[in-house]
Every structure is written in C-alpha cells, then in structure tokens.
Structure 1
Amino acid sequence: MSSQSTSTRDARPALSAATRTLLVCGALAGPVFVGTVAAQVLTRDGFDLRRHPISLLTLGAQGWIQVAAFIVAGLLSLAYAVGLRRVLRAGPAGTWAPLLVGVFGLGLVLGGMFRPDPALGFPPGAPAGNADPMSWHGTLHAVAAPLAFSALVLACFVVVRRAVVLGQPGWAAYSATTGVLALVLVAWPGQEGLSVRLAVAVTIAFAWTTALALGLLTSE
C-alpha cells in the first residue's frame, strides 16, 4: 500500500496540474462529508446516531448543511472520477474504477437533491416510525444512497484486481478489506445499530477513496 511500491511498479509520466487538481478533489471528498456529518451528529438537537441514519440530517432548519455536504462531496467525487480516468486509463481498472467512482459521485449528488422523509422522531415532531407511504423524493433518496455505496464497494474490488496485476499486495489487501468490511457492516442481519453501522461503513469507504487519491498523487 506504500507510495514507494506504487511508484516502482506503476511508473508513468508526471501528472499534469489539472490531473493533480482532480485527484485532490478525491482526497477532499471524504473529509468534507465525514467531517460535516461528525459536526452535526454532535450538535443537532434531537439527532441520535444510534437511532437516526445520517441522511435524516438533511431535514429541518439546518438540513441545508447536510444537503450541501452530499452535493459538494458528490461533485468532488465526480471530478475525482475524471482524474482517475486520466491516471488509470492505460492500465488495469482504467475503465471500471473511474466509472464506478463517477456513479458514486452521482449518487451522492442525487442523495442531496432528493431528501428522505421525516421519520423516527427526527426532526423533532416527526412521526416515531418510518414514513408510510414514502414520498417521491424520499423514494429517490432511498435509491440514490444505496446506488452510491454499492458503486464505491465495487470500485474497491476493481482496484484489488489492479493491485494484484501490478504486484501491490498492500493495496490489494487494503482495498479488499475495505470492500468486505463495508459490505458486512451494511448487510449484517438485524436493524439494531444499523444507523451506526452505516455511518462506520461510509467512513471506512471514504477513507479508502482519500487514501487512493493520495497514493496516486504521491506515486509519480
């Protein structure tokens, strides 16, 4: 997983300023999203991560903050996908990794544009259960978020193959662990603790996108 290993086994011309900027966008997407969520989890009245999925942060008077986090992180990820295409196009994962990261970014943007329905008592005054029936925008949000997450997990496994081909066992192990752990956290049976597991899975997956971007930036 070290940049030295990446450099010696995946030599390529120096990155252009534009490509570097696109990769920096990828390095920033995770900290922007996770940092914004963490700040709100600690400060939003009535929000309890043990009960409430982070998507509910898009609701209420301060919901615009999380809406912006979704859209900004999505746009940064879309820019990152372009950067990945520029860097990887001549080698393994050159098609699918950028495409899947692009789908991830699009899913984030859509997740911000279409808010979920109030539920589980959040924002304060909302019904204690889930919305039934769901609104059209709640339905679109419910589709966009899993789409984004699934695309990113698949990107992890695509990069596993790339790392194996290039002889980078550290990156192969890290990418595989990220993909498997994220899937296990989300797919674990039972609803208890689901919102916490989702938040941890998102954090782990975003950490991987940041690490990959930084690795490519430092591997010239």
Structure 2
Amino acid sequence: MFGPLVGQAATARVRAQVGRRGGAGGAGAAERPRPGAGRIGMIAAGAFVMDPADGFPVGTPYGMPASLSRHSYAHFAAGSVTFTALIAACYVLGRHFGRAGNRGRALTSRVAGTAPLLGNGWAMSGGEAGTLTLAIGVITAMARISATAFRYRRGL
C-alpha cells in the first residue's frame, strides 16, 4: 500500500537533490521539483478503483466490460498524472547527467523514462498484456530513480 507513495517521495527527493547539486546550470535551474503531482495522482488513483475486468480480481470473467464507470475514468486520469510525473523525473535526471558529462547515466535515465511512456501507451490502447507492459515500464523507471537516489544518498 505504501510502496508507491514511498517511490513517489523518493522521486521528489532525488529531483530536489539533483536540482540543488546541479548549481546554476543544473537541472534545478530550468525545472523546479513538483513532488505534489505524483503524490496527488497516486492517492487519487487509489481512491478511484478500476472496474473488475480481464480476470482481475479472481473470478471476474476475461474481457473488458461493455462500459466503464466514472471511477475507472478517474483512475485512468490520476494514473496518467502519476506516470507523467515519473517520466518527467527520469527525463530531468537524463538532462542533469547529460549536462554533467555522464552520458551513460543520461542515456539510461532517458530510456527508463521512455519505458513507462511506451508501457502506458500500450496499456491505454488496449494492447495485449497492457498491464504487464505498464508494470515493466514503471519498474524500470523506479529502479533508475532508486539507483540515482542511492548514489546521491551515499555521496557516490
């Protein structure tokens, strides 16, 4: 339950640290950390639950329901806000590392930011195993942000 909220808090913390350590020309000069978007989106996505579909929860018939409720649409919107914040955090890290001359970390940050973008697009389009592709993308981005947080926390 608290795992995603901790992840969003870590994202905000990393973004703030990168901005602080970046100095005048760092990532914080152009992009100010906006931790509220991810947190609010995550809370709203939890408050507005998706309709049962495609075998979830257990016992639900496979396939999508004929129509979606307002709660499902609100869940989609809140999730989109949260994923956009996650994607933006990865791209901010990519820009920071690129300016710092660390091309490898810049590239992996941008790839990690692109993964949930593609996963979310595939899931929203109704693609096969959309939830799985979205999960893989989000885990990739969270892993990249976690690795960055670890490095900054350890002073590496």
| TM-score for both structures, normalised by structure 2 | 0.77
Alignment partner, residue 144 of structure 1 = 78
Over alpha carbons, which structure has the higher Rg? Answer: 1
Aligned to 1:54: none
**Partner letter of residue 96 of structure 1?**
E
Which residue in the other structure is 1:96 paired with? Answer: 31
Cα–Cα, structure 1 residues 97 and 159, in superposed 2: closer, same or farther, change >3 Å?
farther
Q: Does 1:197 align with 2:133?
A: yes
1:127 is displaced (CA, Å) by: 4.5
Distance change in 2, residues 1:90/1:207 (3 Å) = closer
2:8 to 77, 81, 84: 77
After the TM superposition, which segments of 4 or more aligned residues of structure 1 sit over 6 Å from their partners? none
Q: Work out which structure has the larger RCO, using CA pairs closer than 8 Å and 6 or more positions apart in sequence.
A: 1
Instruction: Provide Cα deviations, 1:57-87, integer angstroms capped at 9, x if missing partner.
Output: xxxxxxxxxxx24xx5225523652564256
RMSD value over aligned CA atoms? 2.7
> Cα offset for 1:200?
0.9
Moved more, 79-88 or 105-114: 79-88
Q: Does 80-89 or 202-211 show the bigger shift? A: 80-89
Where does structure 2 lack aligned partners over 5 or more consecutive residues? none
Amino acid at match of 2:54: L
Q: State whether residues 115 and 141 of structure 2, in contact with CA within 8 Å, keep that contact through their aligned partners in structure 1.
A: no
Give the drift of 1:140: 1.2
Change (3 A) 1:192 1:147: same
Equivalence for 1:168: 102
The answer to which of 145-154 and 119-128 deviates more is 119-128
Gaps of 5+ in 1: 1-67
The one of 42, 45, 61 aligned to 1:108? 42
Aligned to 1:215: 151
CA offsets 1:156-209 (integer angstroms, 9 cap, x no match): 112211112222222212111212333334435771232221121111011012
- Deviation (angstroms), 1:141: 0.8
